[in-house]
Structure 1
Amino acid sequence: MKRLTTLLLLLCCLPAASAEQPPRFDRSVQTAENFEAAIPRPQQDQAVAAKLARLQAKTGRRPNIVWLVVDDLGYGDPGCYGGGATVGASTPNIDQLAASGLRLTSCYAQQTCTPTRSAVLTGRLPVRTGLVRPILAGDKITANPWADEVSLPALLSDAGYFTLLTGKWHVGESEGMRPHDVGFDEYYGYYPAQKEISQRVDDRRFPGLVLNPERLAAFEAVGPSDRLTHGRKGGPTEELAAIESTDDMAAADQTLTDFTIKRIKELAAGDQPFFIEHCFMKVHCDNFPHPDHAGRSEAKYPYKDSIREVDAQVGAIVAALDQAGVRENTLIFFTSDNGPQMDAWPDAGYTPFRGAKGTTWEGGVRVPGVASWPGVIPAGRVSDGLFDLMDLFGVGLNLAGVASDKLPGDRYYDYIDQASFLLADDGQSKRETVYFWWGKELMACRMKEYKAHVKVVIAEAPHMHIDLATVRDVGLAPWFFNLYLDPKEEMTVGHRLDPWMATVSGKLKAHGATFKKYPPKSIGL
């Protein structure tokens, strides 16, 4: 009896068999009802927290953050992503930046520019904020989407950072929606995209507008600003030189780069860490290369010359950080706001994937993503871990020491803090799923190497992914692709090769359910 009692006590001390959870296909865990579920990586998080603490003790300040965002750059344009000279425009500076740090091969944007640009600054999907597409000439916004949003630059500014946006904005230009109204301490750039400015002066491509005084006057009455703007939070907003010719448009990016370099020198000499989002006007059509680069690419075409120009300006900005002595305390992230706009071909980029800007195929949403930070991110890293550009919101909060409890609890946040993915020596992604929307339509999601579509954008003619395309339901079952076998999304595998379609489809349903408790805003777009 005594031996039986001892045996029972020993058995009671052993873990129950049911307590050992088997591995799950979905590894993500939701720690708060209004935050996106993430894959727990506690050891990785702790290692990076210790690394950052050592760096702060050494430098005496928080790290700087610099985003370099190109407009409509294709995944396959940079040499480090298989492009470069192969597709007619060498990119030595972008390639060197990638070699110095981490190159992401599954980095995702939204399918057009305004949605991406708003998402990275709010940490929320555009369908939640109402910024589901670009605001165009003649649009009537019914509400200011920024009125109740808490932006990353506002949070960083409150945490002691100086925040600057240089270049393209395209997320609203009326008072209350400008960069310096929504959290940036300073703004120097143009509100709209290149084409929305240059179309009023390019009489070869838009003669029906430029050469018709009556129509041009009507456009000017509703069209976006064509002026370089300099604004300061709580201070004046100055309208500087207007774009009066395609030559002026060609020179715009160099003017913006010169300003960013000037501010880097000034800010590096100050006592605040800084956050700079430098948004290139190029390579959104219509492209007019700077005279220093015209005809200098291998292809000699304006788009390719503009790629060469952007590459040179990336190199100049990185060199300015180095010369200012802050490169080793600065995270640089280089990316594009969506895939190439093939509707403007040949003034368009290259992607090896199906689709382009305006679609939720890989060609529209998979973009270059390069993170560089000497001494923190080991050189030569490459990862296929999932990264949504919204995750930059969480990375920024982490580096600035801003806790997520600073965010309102009455709305859903879609970002994931991926600082440890980017900064750990062999960091692993904490994101299990990326969701894709087209306007107010839930289209698809990627989970691991799988992607399920419930709606698709079909181009009705070559390269016409926006102007001659239709949105369709897929039919009896989601279109289910294995992106490792079929990165061009040409042949479904759901009922033949893979058993995970129901699991991925279940993630789509669960994601859709978040909108019942946290309904999306509508601003009239």
Structure 2
Amino acid sequence: MTKLLKSFKGIALLIICANLIVIPSFGRQKNNTQAPPNILIITVDNVGYGDFSFMNEASPILTPNLNKLAKQGAILTDFYTGSPTCTASRASLLTGRIPQRNKLDYQLGGLAGNYGIGLPQTEIIIPRVLKSSPHGYATGAFGKWNIGFAPGSRPTERGFDEFLGIASGNVDHFSHVYAGRHDLYHNTTSINRHGEFSTDLFANAAIDFINKNTAEEKPWMVYLPFDAPHHPGDRNIEPGEENIWKAPDYAFKPYGLKPDEKDPKKRFNAIVTAIDMAVGRLMTSLDELGIADNTFVFFYSDNGAFYPYLDIQSNAPLNGAGVTLWEGGIRVPALVRWPGKVKANSTINTRLWSLDLLVGAADLAEAELPQDRYYDGKNPLPVLTGETTHSPHASMFFKYKGQEALIWGDYKIFRESNLEPWKLFNLSEDISESNDLAEKRPDLVKKLEQPFKLTEEEINSDLEREKSNAKLGN
């Protein structure tokens, strides 16, 4: 009996000691004494690397709230999107997998495309991953979906608890019409909020969601993909209506302009300033709720500015534009804020990409990643919190519409068609990709080509295996 009592005492002591141990994970405590962090991922649509003044001091666009966010957190100079086009970039963010692996490596177009299946329904996206968290995260999406809106493909059918936004990729910001069809939904029901600026609609819905779940003491994850400032589309406006960049009247006031301003550049600037104001209201809400310090905020553009609008927008100092694999298409402006974890007023030059956010969100929520698939994203938190300056990626693979690229270390190989020879650039010395080194360094071209081919072969092998399994009914 004495030995048995001693044994129980020993076990009890071990339990007590274990409960006293605090295990750090990227600057936060994984125990029950601290509420799990909220997660806010904000994207903007087709904003260039040089459009924001926190990236480019020469930018004339007024974004005081984003500049404040940058000072409170970190600017990421080497952040990449998974694809240079809207649909594929969003699918790669939400799945943590490159477009070739998640099978949505193209832009959904027209009503048939946007209201079709889009991203295969076998793909698991961020909110569904968070459902395995022991903390009971509430998840909301507010904004541009653009990865398929057929039954089974809609946000609330893929893990989000609430959705308010557009199904397609480009609507009129005030009528919310896409190709003659009303495109605004709450969950799966079409709604009419004609006349309300879409940026304000989405930001306000996110604020309401945050207020509700904070009041209920639930941690939350919000995906806020603004559809602005995406260029205007002639097919989304009534016949005879002028096709111009549209911003709310209040967004012209900081520039001393009237809402009937004709200059498209000035009108574009006002749209971005309206986004900044919405972000400011959102950050104020976090402060008022007392949860700003426990909220992980990540902000970035889904891809670079497009060629037809480079007289209005800027990808400076990068070459190329959206829908290309030049740096101007895939390297994008980005910010992160997480008070006490991410160093304030800092710059992070380590290479990361949008696919990392799924893995980071899973770590923040203490959720388990499904083990039946490969993730191209890696955990970005050690880099973001300053634990390391080394990228979790040995290389980054890109492929879009015949264009191919791979980045490894300081170097990038790129070609606009697989029928062309590779170009080679040293990005650390030549961010504008103006000096092709391929002829001088064929050894480096060959070295980078090997992991590109290996990744391509591995993806093709996975796809063939999936086809075989499908035929066998597995």
Q: How many Å separate the matches in 2 of 1:48 and 1:445?
A: 34
Is 2:75 the partner of 1:124?
A: no
In the alignment, does 2:234 pair up with 1:278?
A: no
Q: 1:217-261, CA deviations, whole angstroms, 9 ceiling, x for partnerless residues?
A: xx54xxxx5242111xxxxx3221154xxxx36x22112212211
Q: Contact (CA 8 Å) 1:165, 1:184: kept in 2 or not?
A: yes
Counterpart in the other structure of 1:288 = 246
Aligned partner of 2:79 among 90, 107, 113: 107
Deviation for aligned residue 1:200: 9.4
Gaps of 5+ in 2: 1-21, 233-244, 257-262, 468-474
Assess if the C-alpha contact under 8 Å between 2:350 and 2:389 holds in 1: no
Q: 2:148 aligns with which of 151, 159, 172?
A: 172
Q: Which residue of 2 aligns with 1:269?
A: 215
Which residue in the other structure is 1:422 paired with?
384
Q: Deviations over 1:36-59 (max 9, x none)?
A: xxxxxxxxxx996163226x5442
- Paired residues of 2:413 and 2:423 also in contact (CA < 8 A): yes
Aligned equivalent of 1:368, options 313, 323, 333: 333
Paired with 1:503 and 1:389, the residues of 2 have a C-alpha distance of 25
Q: Percent identity?
A: 25
Q: Is residue 2:435 matched to residue 1:473?
A: no
Cα displacement string for residues 13-37 of structure 1 (whole angstroms, at most 9, x for unaligned residues): xxxxxxxxxxxxxxxxxxxxxxxxx
CA contact (8 A) 2:26 2:387 kept: no
Cα pair 1:303 1:349 within 8 Å, conserved: no
Deviations 1:331-375 (A, max 9, x none): 000001000123245554443211111101000011012110111
Q: Find the partner of 2:107 among 130, 134, 138.
A: 134
Letter in 1 for 2:371: L
Task: Indicate yes or no: 2:53 matched with 1:95.
Answer: no
1:129 Cα deviation after fit:
2.1
Contact in 2 for aligned 1:72/1:283 (Cα 8 Å) = yes
The 8 Å contact of residues 119 and 148 in structure 2, kept in 1 or not, is answered as: no
TM-score for both structures, normalised by structure 2: 0.82
Residue identity opposite 1:70 in structure 2 = V
Q: Summarize the alignment of residues 364-443 of structure 1 with structure 2, pairs less than 5 Å apart.
A: 364-404=329-369, 406-408=370-372, 411-424=373-386, 427-439=389-401, 441=402, 443=404
Is the contact between residue 176 and residue 184 of structure 2 (CA under 8 Å) also seen in structure 1?
A: no
In structure 1, stretches of 5+ residues that fail to align are 1-45, 202-215, 232-236, 457-470
Q: Contact 2:176–2:198 (CA<8 Å) still a contact in 1?
A: no
Rounded to whole Å, the distance in 1 between the matches of 2:310 and 2:153 is: 32
- 1:312 aligned onto 2:293: no
| Residues 69-94 of structure 1: CA deviation (Å, up to 9, x unaligned) | 111111111111014xx332122211
After TM superposition, the structure 1 = structure 2 runs for residues 143-292 of structure 1, keeping only pairs within 5 Å, are 145-159=119-133, 160-195=136-171, 220=180, 225-231=181-187, 237-241=188-192, 243=194, 248=195, 251-286=197-232, 287-292=245-250
Letter in 2 for 1:79: S
Give the aligned partner of residue 6 of structure 1: none
For residue 393 of structure 1, what is the amino acid of its counterpart? L
Matched position secondary structure for 2:29: helix
1:407 to 1:291, Cα distance in 2 relative to 1, 3 A:
farther
* 1:388-437 per-position Cα deviation (integer Å, ceiling 9, x unaligned): 10010110111111233x231xx432111222111235543212212111
Q: 1:82 matched to which residue of 2? A: 56
The corresponding residue for 1:15 is none
Query: Deviation of residue 113 (structure 1)?
Result: 0.8
Tell me how far apart the structure 2 counterparts of residues 180 and 347 of structure 1 sit (CA, whole Å).
36
Report the residue type matching 2:205 in the other structure: F
Q: Is the 8 A contact 1:436 1:443 kept in 2?
A: yes
- If the length of structure 1 is used for normalisation, what is the TM-score? 0.74
Deviation at 1:442, TM superposition (A): 5.7
| Contact persistence 2:117–2:148 (CA under 8 A) | no
Corresponding residue number in structure 2 for 1:35: none
Alignment correspondent of 1:301 = 266
Secondary structure of 1:508's counterpart equals helix
- Match of 1:154, SS state, is helix
Which residue is 1:462 aligned to? Answer: none
1:68 aligns with 2:33: no
The separation in 2 between residues aligned to 1:270 and 1:494, in whole angstroms, is 59
2:444 to 500, 511, 518: 500
Residue 48 to residue 370, structure 1, CA distance change in 2 (3 Å): farther
CA separation in 1, counterparts of 2:360 and 2:457? 26
Contact between 1:257 and 1:317, CA under 8 Å: does it hold in 2?
A: yes
Asked if the contact 2:307–2:321 (Cα under 8 Å) also holds between the matched residues in 1, the reply is yes
Structure 1 407/199 Cα, relative in aligned 2: closer, same or farther at 3 Å? Answer: same
Q: Who is 1:467 aligned against?
A: none
Pair 1:347–1:198, CA change in 2 (3 A): farther
C-alpha contact 1:93 1:315 (8 A) present in aligned 2: yes
Q: In 1, distance between residues paired with 2:289 and 2:88? A: 33
SS in 1 for 2:392: coil
User: Which residue identity lines up with residue 502 of structure 1 in the other structure?
Assistant: K
Matches within 5 A, 1:2-21: none
CA contact (8 A) 2:26 2:382 kept: no
Checking the alignment, whether the CA contact within 8 Å between 1:447 and 1:504 is kept in structure 2 is yes
Question: Could you give the per-residue CA deviations for residues 126-167 of structure 1, whole angstroms, max 9, x where no partner exists?
Answer: 122221222211546886633211111111133221110011
Distance of aligned partners of 1:344 and 1:50 in 2 relative to their CA distance in 1, 3 Å threshold: closer
Equivalent residue, structure 2, for 1:447: 408
Q: Once structures 1 and 2 are overlaid, which stretch shifts more, 163-172 or 297-306? A: 297-306
In the alignment, the residues of structure 2 paired with residue 294 and residue 102 of structure 1 have an alpha-carbon distance, to the nearest angstrom, of: 28
Deviations 1:103-122 (A, max 9, x none): 11110111011111111111
Contact 2:125–2:159 (8 Å) recurs in 1: yes
Gap change, CA 1:499 and 1:383, over 3 Å in 2: farther
1:510 Cα deviation after fit? 1.4
Compute the RMSD of aligned alpha carbons.
Answer: 2.7
Alpha-carbon separation, structure 2, partners of 1:104 and 1:50? 18
Provide the residue aligned with 2:461 in structure 1: 517
- Number of corresponding residues: 422
> Which residue is 1:482 aligned to?
426
Inter-partner Cα distance in structure 2 for 1:173 and 1:143: 6
